[in-house]
Amino acid sequence: MNKILIVANWKCNPPTLRQARQLFGSVKKGLSNSKNKKVEVVICPPFPFILNIKSEILNLKLGAQNCFWEKRGAFTGEVSPQMLKDLGCQYVILGHSERRRYFGETDEQINKKVKAALSANLKPILCMGENQEQRSQGKTKELLEEQLISALKLDLKLKTKILNLAVAYEPLWAIGTGRACPPKEVQSVNLLLRKILSRKFGAEKAEKIRILYGGSVNSKNAVPYIKEAGSQGLLIGGASLKAKEFLAVIRKLNR
């Protein structure tokens, strides 16, 4: 049985290394002092902090928020999956809506990143979701299908690594707005994504790929996504920047 995957997406926070160390230290301490049997926690800090935070405890892993698709070369400003792996990252968030929106990442580029991450034995957390307009027009499912299928165009060799993948459903209108998506809606998206994954990789494998929910998750609303909507994890932005709040989510999921 896979553990529940709780991913902290720190985004472009906190502003200093001292604060990053403090935040990570508090999470690490909180986790070492508690019984954390059911949850695998991944912290995704900004690139410059990755090397400075180390986890020696089980169930607390490191991830990055993005990566490039080439291994190395003349690509100013980019960071390769191999570099992240070398620094001890196990996971990488890919296709986050903020990357798509502010940096123009396309489905095609996200597909290249997913392939590069899988090849480097990093575990991609592939994000997707609809915006408010697409939602009002009833286009959510069509869009998710498109995003999922294009990101997962893989050759046979990479298909064998598909269990390293996690998919995160993050409706854009729910991110950072305090308007979390109702668990009932997340449940129906989970069923759809699982169906598409089954069609692509077979039911047995699809069952083992974790599907996460993200968008204004906090300690008060987290549990129903796991217990009712059938998500196998959560991607947490704002609430992951407060150690107490983040630890409260994990504590509730361990009950």
Which lies closer to ligand PGA via its Cβ, residue 201 or residue 213? 213
Any residues with CB less than 8 A from the CB of 51 and at least 6 apart, and which?
A: 87
Candidates 193, 238, 243, 246; binder of ligand PGA (CB under 6 A) is 238
Kindly state whether residue 236 participates in binding ligand PGA, applying the rule CB under 6 A: yes
Instruction: Report, as residue numbers or ranges, the catalytic residues.
Output: 96, 170
For ligand PGA, the binding residues in 20-79 under the rule CB under 6 A are none
Report yes or no: 106 and 151 within 8 Å, Cβ to Cβ: no
Question: Which window, 24-32, 33-41, 204-212, 236-244, contacts ligand PGA (CB under 6 A)?
Answer: 236-244
- 159: helix, coil or strand? helix
Candidates 84, 122, 189, 235; binder of ligand PGA (CB under 6 A) is 235
Question: Which window, 33-41, 128-136, 198-206, 215-223, contacts ligand PGA (CB under 6 A)?
Answer: 215-223
Kindly state whether residue 197 participates in binding ligand PGA, applying the rule CB under 6 A: no
| The token pair that represents 61 in the structure block | 């892993």
Kindly state whether residue 233 participates in binding ligand PGA, applying the rule CB under 6 A: no
Report the nearest approach of ligand PGA to the CB of residue 216 (Å).
4
Kindly state whether residue 217 participates in binding ligand PGA, applying the rule CB under 6 A: yes
- 96: helix, coil or strand? coil
Which lies closer to ligand PGA via its Cβ, residue 24 or residue 225? 225
Angle at CA of residue 18, ends 17 and 24, nearest 5°: 85
* Cα–Cα nearest to 143, from 170, 105, 178, 183: 170
How far is 50 from 38, CA to CA, in rounded Å? 25
**How far is C-alpha 180 from the chain's CA centre?**
16
CA distances from 225 to 23, 89, 151, 214 (A): 25, 26, 24, 10
Handedness of CA 87, 122, 125, 209 (dihedral sign): negative
Question: Which residue's beta carbon is nearest to the bound ligand PGA?
Answer: 237
Candidates 40, 105, 130, 170; binder of ligand PGA (CB under 6 A) is 170
Kindly state whether residue 181 participates in binding ligand PGA, applying the rule CB under 6 A: no
Candidates 175, 186, 206, 250; binder of ligand PGA (CB under 6 A) is 175
Kindly state whether residue 182 participates in binding ligand PGA, applying the rule CB under 6 A: no
How far is 212 from 205, CA to CA, in rounded Å? 16
- 240: helix, coil or strand? helix
Which residues are at the interface with ligand PGA (CB under 6 A)?
9, 170, 175-176, 214-217, 235-239
